[in-house]
């Protein structure tokens, strides 16, 4: 009967274990779903945030152009062309199709306006299409003109979508965006839109809409192709996992949003050759994106793939482990029936237990004393840990000087012991053998050499630290040798480089002398070293930094700083000199290190800087620096 009961308990334990295993698997599946949802929401929010930030950057450029007109509302074509060329649109703002100025032209001045443009070097200029609507809004300047010739002279007053946006921007004084349009200069038929900012006469009163209408000079405008804009914004790697659509829902002032249709579709990532995998209906988000007084609706849907699919192996492993553990517990309960056999042996053990009672009591007393000792040892260990933590704070500063000074102290102590031993032998023997004296002199000379070498090393380190500190603090121009500045800078980072298992290979010829700012050059090297330690070797146990220099000409030197770290993506490399841009926000990165390096190299040191990097293959920074700065140029060093 008892054995049957034990078996029943074993089966019950096995059943309960299976239930707990199933519940654990369900919890893991739910946790995976929540994690996948959180990853998707983070990716979707990144797309929305990146789009909003990039549009705001472009609109800031638009406001900057408006600010130029606020200084002088009579800007001519040559100055407009020169201003736009300085923006380097193809490199810094690839999302732009064109930058334009739209002139407000009264109907009675249209003919004279066209003649002025023709006489200004554009004899084929014509205002088109013909329209009786007044006033006319004519595209007077468009840069770059190549590829945008069709838009030159276009009367936007004859186009209802453009006219509505112009009038709203004129009355509000704010940046205004058009609805989805097909650009006249774009034969591909891709969706586009235009953002415009009104320009008013200088010193005109702009308190009311009527005053703004009377003072209107024209509009500065930026023309966008949405597909080009979004290719710049969205990380291409995300497009394999996300389906992104943007719909224009109309102006914010409208009483009712525009219904979603093909005519409101601004962007569809699936039309750009993205992944054709199945969409995940449970991973979908809709977010509002305000753009120039219009409401865009950003729709993001997850795509089935490695990024958002649930991994089955954790659940399978948990299920297998749960079944095995449940079976073991059940077997353990069933096996307890064997304990009944040992019951008789317990009676024979009682006598032995009584005999051991006294020993146990003695052991208890010994254990109490040992426990007290362990508590004291624990207290001492905690104190030691605190002191070790305190020592770690100063180890980085003291370590470099501790070794040579410690060697000198040890050698001096040994020399003192040798002298006392010599004195004892001299007192006991009444004299010394020549061989003993010579051996003592040889040992004393060797000890002096060791102390001299160690103290010279300490002096060199102090000199290096002091020279770097003085140069960076004073910012004075002087003559210096390149290899000495590199050596001094590396000395200040010796402890950090060793702590990160980072080796440094230096190939700088001696005798290369500069007449420049050693503190600024040291600061550049310091920032590059710190950048490599923080970003380049992140997640790596060791790394190699290489510093090479060669004199390419009589008045310039090429200095190359490279590491074998994780490298950078093309997007990060494109923005590396932007202020406040960092991939370590909140983790020690300020986003100003490489911006300061760029300003020092190009401004203070009058050189050039070029950065090359491939993800996973390290980074190389090449500096070309003049050996002597112009004597009449006094550089303003950054704080």
For 11, the token pair is 């089966």
Residue 457 covered by a domain = yes
Q: Which of 474, 503, 536 is at the close of a domain? A: 474
> Is residue 130 located within the same domain as residue 269?
yes
Residue 28 covered by a domain = no
Distance CA 102, CA 139 (A): 4
> Is residue 128 located within the same domain as residue 222?
yes
pLDDT at 176: 95
Sheet holding 502-507, edge to edge: 502-507, 543-553, 556-563, 619-626, 608-613
**pLDDT: which is higher, 414 or 535:** 535
- Rounded to a whole number, what is the distance in angstroms from the first to the last CA of the chain? 90
- Confidence band of 474 (pLDDT split at 50, 70, 90): very low
> Is residue 510 located within the same domain as residue 615?
yes
> Is residue 439 located within the same domain as residue 383?
yes
DSSP characters for 307-359?
A: TTSPPSHHHHHHHHHHHHHHHHHHHHHHHGGGGGGGHHHHHHHHHHHHHHHHH
- Strands 543-553, 502-507: pairing kind: parallel
- Range from 7-16, 247-256, 528-537 carrying the lowest mean pLDDT: 7-16
According to the per-residue pLDDT averaged within each range, which of 129-133, 184-188, 416-420, 451-455 is highest?
Answer: 129-133
Residue 326 covered by a domain = no
Distance CA 279, CA 16 (A): 39
> Is residue 468 located within the same domain as residue 479?
no
Distance CA 24, CA 16 (A): 12
Residue 20 covered by a domain = no
Q: Which of 474, 492, 519 is at the close of a domain? A: 474
pLDDT, one tens digit per residue, over 363-413 is 888 888 888 886 675 445 434 433 433 343 344 445 556 667 777 787 888
Burial per residue of 489-512, b for 16 or more beta-carbon CB atoms within 10 angstroms, e otherwise: bbbbbeeebeebebebeeebeeeb
Residue 163 covered by a domain = yes
> Is residue 468 located within the same domain as residue 566?
no
DSSP characters for 144-200?
A: S-TT-GGGTTBBGGGSHHHHHHHHHHHHH-S-EE--SEE-TT-TT--EEEEEEEEEE
> Is residue 278 located within the same domain as residue 131?
yes
Average pLDDT over residues 344-364: 79
Burial per residue of 250-280, b for 16 or more beta-carbon CB atoms within 10 angstroms, e otherwise: bbeeeeeebeeeeebbbbbbeeeebeeeeeb
Omega before 443 within 30 of 0, i.e. cis: no
Q: Assign 623 to helix, strand or coil.
A: strand
Residue 169 covered by a domain = yes
User: In this structure, what are the phi and psi dihedrals at residue 289, rounded to the nearest 5 degrees?
Assistant: -135, 100
Q: Look up the domain containing 564 and give its range.
A: 475-626
> Is residue 60 located within the same domain as residue 108?
yes
- Confidence band of 274 (pLDDT split at 50, 70, 90): very low
**pLDDT: which is higher, 240 or 52:** 52
- Range from 179-188, 189-198, 369-378 carrying the lowest mean pLDDT: 369-378
Q: Kindly list the distances between the CA atom of residue 593 and the CA atoms of 200, 548, 598, in Å, as whole numbers in the listed order.
A: 40, 21, 9
Q: Which of 435, 450, 474 is at the close of a domain? A: 474
Instruction: Give the CA diameter of the chain.
Output: 129
Which of 68, 47, 66, 51 has the alpha carbon at shortest distance from 222? 66
User: In this structure, what are the phi and psi dihedrals at residue 177, rounded to the nearest 5 degrees?
Assistant: -110, 150
Average pLDDT over residues 288-311: 90
Q: How many domains does the chain have?
A: 3
Distance CA 99, CA 89 (A): 9
Residue 354 covered by a domain = no
For 520, the token pair is 């600024």
**pLDDT: which is higher, 578 or 592:** 578
- Confidence band of 309 (pLDDT split at 50, 70, 90): confident
Q: Would the pLDDT of 304 be above 80? A: yes
CATH number of domain containing 177: 3.30.450.350
**pLDDT: which is higher, 401 or 421:** 421
According to the per-residue pLDDT averaged within each range, which of 407-411, 431-435, 487-491, 629-633 is highest?
Answer: 487-491
Average pLDDT over residues 122-143: 89
Angle (CA) 46-52-54 rounded to 5° is 100
Angle (CA) 400-402-405 rounded to 5° is 115
Strands (E), 587-632: 608-613, 619-626
- Confidence band of 354 (pLDDT split at 50, 70, 90): confident
> Is residue 95 located within the same domain as residue 240?
yes
Residue 43 covered by a domain = no
pLDDT, one tens digit per residue, over 312-325 is 888 898 889 988 99
> Is residue 470 located within the same domain as residue 581?
no
> Is residue 467 located within the same domain as residue 568?
no
**pLDDT: which is higher, 91 or 306:** 306
Average pLDDT over residues 53-81: 85
Q: Which residues contact 169 (CB under 8 A, 6 or more apart)?
A: 175, 176, 196, 197, 198, 219, 293
Q: What is the mean pLDDT of the chain?
A: 82
What percent of the chain shows pLDDT beyond 70? 85
Which of 214, 134, 126 has the alpha carbon at shortest distance from 170? 214
> Is residue 429 located within the same domain as residue 511?
no
Average pLDDT over residues 192-204: 91
CATH number of domain containing 527: 3.30.565.10
Q: Would the pLDDT of 480 be above 50? A: yes
Q: Is there a contact between 564 and 618 (Cβ–Cβ < 8 Å)?
A: yes
Q: Is there a contact between 192 and 248 (Cβ–Cβ < 8 Å)?
A: no
pLDDT at 220: 94
Say whether pTM exceeds 0.85. Answer: no
For 8, the token pair is 């029943």
């Amino acid at each position: 009967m008892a054995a049957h009961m034990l078996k029943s308990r074993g089966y019950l334990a096995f059943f309960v274990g299976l239930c707990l295993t199933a519940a654990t698997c369900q919890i893991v599946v739910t946790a995976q779903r929540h994690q996948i949802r959180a990853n998707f929401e983070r990716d979707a929010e990144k797309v929305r945030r990146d789009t909003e930030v990039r549009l705001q950057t472009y609109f800031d450029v638009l406001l900057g152009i408006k600010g130029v007109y606020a200084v002088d509302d009579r800007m001519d074509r040559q100055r407009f062309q020169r201003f736009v060329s300085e923006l380097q649109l193809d490199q810094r703002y690839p999302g732009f199709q064109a930058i334009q100025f739209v002139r407000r032209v009264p109907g009675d001045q249209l003919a004279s306006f066209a003649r002025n443009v023709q006489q200004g070097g554009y004899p084929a200029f014509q205002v088109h299409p013909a329209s009786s609507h007044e006033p006319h809004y004519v595209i007077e300047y468009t840069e770059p003109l190549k590829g945008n010739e069709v838009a030159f002279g276009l009367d936007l007053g004859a186009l209802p979508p453009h006219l509505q946006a112009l009038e709203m921007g004129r009355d509000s004084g704010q940046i205004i965006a058009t609805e989805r349009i097909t650009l006249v200069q774009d034969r591909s038929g891709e969706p586009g839109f235009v953002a415009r900012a009104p320009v008013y006469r200088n010193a005109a009163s702009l308190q009311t809409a009527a005053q703004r209408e009377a003072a209107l000079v024209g509009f500065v405008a930026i023309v966008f192709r949405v597909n080009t804009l979004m290719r710049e914004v969205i990380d291409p790697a995300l497009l394999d996992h996300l389906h992104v659509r943007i719909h224009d829902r109309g102006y914010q002032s409208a009483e009712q949003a525009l219904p979603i249709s093909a005519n409101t579709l601004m962007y569809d990532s699936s039309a750009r050759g993205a992944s054709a995998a199945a969409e995940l209906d449970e991973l979908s988000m809709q977010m509002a994106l305000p753009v120039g007084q219009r409401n865009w609706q950003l729709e993001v849907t997850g795509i089935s793939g490695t990024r958002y699919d649930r991994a089955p192996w954790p659940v399978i492993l948990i299920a297998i482990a749960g079944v095995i553990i449940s079976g073991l517990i059940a077997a353990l309960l069933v096996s307890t029936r064997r304990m009944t056999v040992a019951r008789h042996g317990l009676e024979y053990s009682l006598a032995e237990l009584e005999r051991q009672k006294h020993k146990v009591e003695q052991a208890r007393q010994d254990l109490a004393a040992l426990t007290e000792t362990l508590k004291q040892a624990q207290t001492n260990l905690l104190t030691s840990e605190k002191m070790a933590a305190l020592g770690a704070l100063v180890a980085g500063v003291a370590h470099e000087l501790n070794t040579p000074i410690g060697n000198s102290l040890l050698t001096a102590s040994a020399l003192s012991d040798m002298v006392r031993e010599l004195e004892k032998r001299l007192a006991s023997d009444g004299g010394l053998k020549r061989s003993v004296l010579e051996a003592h002199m040889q040992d004393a000379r060797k000890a002096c050499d060791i102390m001299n070498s160690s103290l010279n090393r300490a002096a060199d380190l102090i000199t290096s630290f002091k020279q770097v500190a003085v140069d960076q603090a004073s910012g004075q121009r002087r003559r210096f040798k390149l290899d000495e500045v590199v050596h001094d800078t590396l000395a200040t980072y010796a402890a950090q480089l060793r702590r990160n298992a980072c080796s440094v290979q230096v190939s700088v010829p001696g005798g290369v002398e500069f007449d420049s700012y050693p503190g600024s050059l040291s600061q550049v090297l310091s920032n590059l070293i710190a950048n490599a330690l923080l970003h380049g070797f992140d997640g790596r146990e060791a790394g190699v930094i290489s510093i090479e220099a060669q004199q390419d000409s009589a008045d310039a030197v090429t200095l190359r700083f490279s590491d074998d770290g994780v490298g950078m993506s093309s997007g990060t490399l494109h923005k590396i000199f932007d202020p406040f841009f960092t991939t370590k926000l909140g983790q020690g990165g300020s986003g100003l290190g490489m911006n300061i390096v760029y300003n020092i190299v190009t401004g203070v040191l009058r050189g050039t800087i070029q950065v090359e990097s491939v993800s996973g293959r390290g980074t190389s920074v090449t500096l070309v620096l003049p050996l002597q700065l112009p004597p009449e140029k006094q550089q303003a060093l950054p704080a």
